[in-house]
C-alpha cells in the first residue's frame, strides 16, 4: 500500500496545478481574449469527477478517524467538510457559467470571473488548511487500520489524468500540463 499521506499530498499538488491553469484561462478572458473553454471544462470535469467523488470521500473518512483520535480537530474538520460541499456547488456553478460562455450565451463577463474566483479561493484555502493543519496531525495519529478504512471508502479508482494510464478525454490537458512544466523548468534554469 502506497503511503496514503504521500498520495494525498501529491493529489493536492496536482489539483493546485489545475487551479493555476484555470486561473490562467480566466486571466485570458479578463484581457478580452477568448480562453480555451474546452481546457477549462476538462479541468472542471476532472475536479468534479475525481476530486469530488474519489479524493474528498477518502478525506472525509480520514477526518472522522482523526477527530476520534483528537477531538480538538472537530472545528477544523467541520469547516473542511462544509468546504467539500461548497467546492462541489461552486464547481457546478462554474461549469454552468463555462457552458454558457462556450455556447456563446450572452451573460456578463463578471459572472464567469466571479464563479471562477469563488471556486479558486475556496479550493486553494481548503488545500492550504489540509496541508497545514490536518495532514501533520493525521501523520501523527492515524494508524494502519485507519488508512485501510480510508482506502476502502471508494473503490480503487486510478487517477484518470495523473495516473499511469491517462484517459483519452484528458490527453490534451496532460500535454498542456507537461508544456507548462517544461516552460517553468526553463524559466528556473535561466
Which residue's entry shows cell 490527453? 171
Per-residue pLDDT of 73-91, as tens digits, reads 999 999 999 999 999 999 9
Percent of the residues in the chain that have a pLDDT greater than 70, as a whole number: 94
Whether 131 is in a domain gets the answer yes
Q: Tell me the residue range of the domain where 110 lies.
A: 4-159
Give domain status of residue 175, yes or no: no
Q: Which of 112, 85, 109, 84 is nearest to 96 (CA)?
A: 112
Mean pLDDT of 34-54: 92
Mean per-residue pLDDT over the chain, rounded: 90
Residue 35, C-beta contacts closer than 8 angstroms, at least 6 positions apart = 25, 26, 28, 29
Q: What CATH code is carried by the domain that includes residue 15? A: 1.20.120.520
Domain count, the chain: 1
Q: Let me know if residue 168 belongs to a domain.
A: no
- How far apart (Å, rounded) are the C-alpha atoms in residues 89 and 162? 24
- Element (H or E) spanning 7, and its range? helix 4-30
- Spatial contact of 162 and 173, defined as CB atoms under 8 Å apart: no
Model confidence pLDDT, tens digit, residues 91-143: 999 999 988 887 767 777 788 889 999 999 999 999 999 999 999 999 999 99
Q: Is residue 38 part of a domain?
A: yes
Is residue 68 domain-resident? Answer: yes
Model confidence at 184: pLDDT above 70:
no
Residue 165 lies in a domain: no
Amino acid at each position: 500500500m502506497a503511503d496514503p499521506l504521500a498520495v494525498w499530498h501529491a493529489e493536492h499538488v496536482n489539483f493546485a496545478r489545475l487551479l493555476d491553469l484555470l486561473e490562467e484561462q480566466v486571466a485570458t478572458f479578463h484581457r478580452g481574449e477568448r480562453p480555451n473553454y474546452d481546457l477549462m471544462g476538462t479541468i472542471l470535469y476532472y475536479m468534479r469527477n475525481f476530486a469530488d467523488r474519489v479524493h474528498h470521500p477518502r478525506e472525509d473518512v480520514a477526518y472522522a478517524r482523526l477527530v476520534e483520535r483528537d477531538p480538538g480537530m472537530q472545528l477544523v474538520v467541520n469547516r473542511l467538510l462544509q468546504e467539500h460541499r461548497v467546492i462541489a456547488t461552486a464547481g457546478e456553478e462554474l461549469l454552468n457559467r463555462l457552458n454558457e460562455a462556450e455556447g456563446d450565451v450572452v451573460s456578463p463577463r463578471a459572472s464567469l470571473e466571479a464563479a471562477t474566483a469563488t471556486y479558486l479561493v475556496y479550493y486553494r484555502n481548503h488545500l492550504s488548511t489540509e496541508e497545514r493543519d490536518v495532514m501533520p496531525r493525521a501523520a501523527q495519529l492515524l494508524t494502519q487500520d485507519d488508512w485501510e478504512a480510508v482506502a476502502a471508502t471508494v473503490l480503487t479508482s486510478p487517477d484518470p489524468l495523473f495516473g499511469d494510464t491517462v484517459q483519452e478525454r484528458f490527453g490534451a490537458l496532460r500535454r498542456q500540463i507537461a508544456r507548462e512544466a517544461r516552460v517553468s523548468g526553463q524559466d528556473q534554469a535561466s
